[in-house]
Amino acid sequence: MNISPTNPAQNPLLQTHHRQAKVRDTHITLAHGSGGKAMHDLIDDIFVNNFNNPILSQLEDQASFNLASLLQQGDRLAFTTDSYVVDPLFFPGSDIGELAINGTINDLAVSGAKPLYLTCSVILEEGLPVKTLRQIAASMQAAAKNAGVQIVTGDTKVVHRGAADKLFINTTGIGVIPTGINISSHNIQPGDAVIINGELGNHGAAILIARGELALETNIISDCQPLHSLVETILNQCPQIHAMRDATRGGLATVLNEFALSSHVGIRLDEQSIPVDEKVKSVCEILGLDPLYLANEGKLVVVVGREHADTVLSAMKSHPAGKNACVIGEVITSPPGIVLLKTTFGTERIVDMLISEQLPRIC
């Protein structure tokens, strides 16, 4: 029998081995993190068979890729990491698995990179239903497939009951930045336009409601979505983007404060032009929250020279993830490091970075 070390997908022994492994336990036990047979079966059954790709199936302690073929796709490697601790694990519109894939894809995409490979490292609490883990892994694979990325290596740890909150996921991603693209929070210039791809705050509001601690019922769903294809569409039309970032924890306000500090510029927002869903607005009014600080998981902030704003807007509107794109503000010289908001009443106020947060732990 031919055992090929380079292509386990064509290796009948490995395939048989994987198909045989099956977790029969209904709940995660410490044995599943032991390094022993229970762990190997869990990894084979839930992750390797599900994420199904020839790199992961090698079961080496590391994935490896040909550098020359990466270099054909661009001149720089992008590298980013994020841990996902969202509570609840499942919420309207998405779940922790999809979030862990899309979130890391987005952190690569906002550098202009084409996302390629992700790791998946899970910390499981003893007692977690195996069915839940299986469902989340399937959700990760669906998101990865949808975005054209592969989950190529991973790690599984189990901690005793009470030492973690059900399940945490870390994904770390690599991608390649095309030659000629230079996107950075340090590149912003006075006169630049600030553009957003759609309504703010849906993810944060959805999580808050899903926790069930408030006597509120709405049908707000998370905006969790991958942004790399939208970014690609934008860069195809306008490679001269100055800065991009997805507005996650801390919301739009935090991203713009980071931009203002990094580029030593001011930013003036126009409240009237900032899109917020009516349902999210209602929740914010009832709870006294500001949608500018609510988390998003599919919102892209783009800063570009004024002369390119129309090109970028029409590129964004041509894409499903950008159809509600609009200009929401401009970059100004002074005061440096400060974000201002021209309110609907015509007054102006500072939109500072919050010291703490409005909501506990939502992304």
User: For the stretch 265-294, what's the b/e string if a residue is b when 16 or more beta carbons lie within 10 angstroms of its beta carbon?
Assistant: bbbbbbbeebbbbebbeebbeeeebbbbbb
Instruction: Tell the smallest beta-carbon distance from residue 317 to a copy of itself (Å).
Output: 25
Instruction: For residues 52 and 296, give the distance between their C-alpha atoms in angstroms, rounded to a whole number.
Output: 30
Closer residue to a copy of itself (CB): 155 or 232: 155
Closer residue to a copy of itself (CB): 113 or 128: 113
Closer residue to a copy of itself (CB): 300 or 325: 300
Instruction: Tell the smallest beta-carbon distance from residue 75 to a copy of itself (Å).
Output: 6
Half-sphere exposure of 120 (CA within 13 A, CB side): 29
CA distance between the termini of the chain: 48
Instruction: Tell the smallest beta-carbon distance from residue 193 to a copy of itself (Å).
Output: 19
Name 42's Cβ contacts closer than 8 Å, sequence gap at least 6.
Answer: 23, 28, 32, 156
Task: Reduce the DSSP state of residue 9 to 3 states and report it.
Answer: helix
Instruction: For residues 40 and 37, give the distance between their C-alpha atoms in angstroms, rounded to a whole number.
Output: 5
Within 10 angstroms of residue 260's Cβ, the number of other Cβ atoms is 24
Closer residue to a copy of itself (CB): 246 or 313: 246
Instruction: Tell the smallest beta-carbon distance from residue 108 to a copy of itself (Å).
Output: 6
Taken in order 82, 88, 94, 97, the sign of the CA dihedral is positive
Closer residue to a copy of itself (CB): 47 or 313: 47
Instruction: Tell the smallest beta-carbon distance from residue 139 to a copy of itself (Å).
Output: 19
Instruction: Tell the smallest beta-carbon distance from residue 33 to a copy of itself (Å).
Output: 7
Closer residue to a copy of itself (CB): 42 or 284: 42
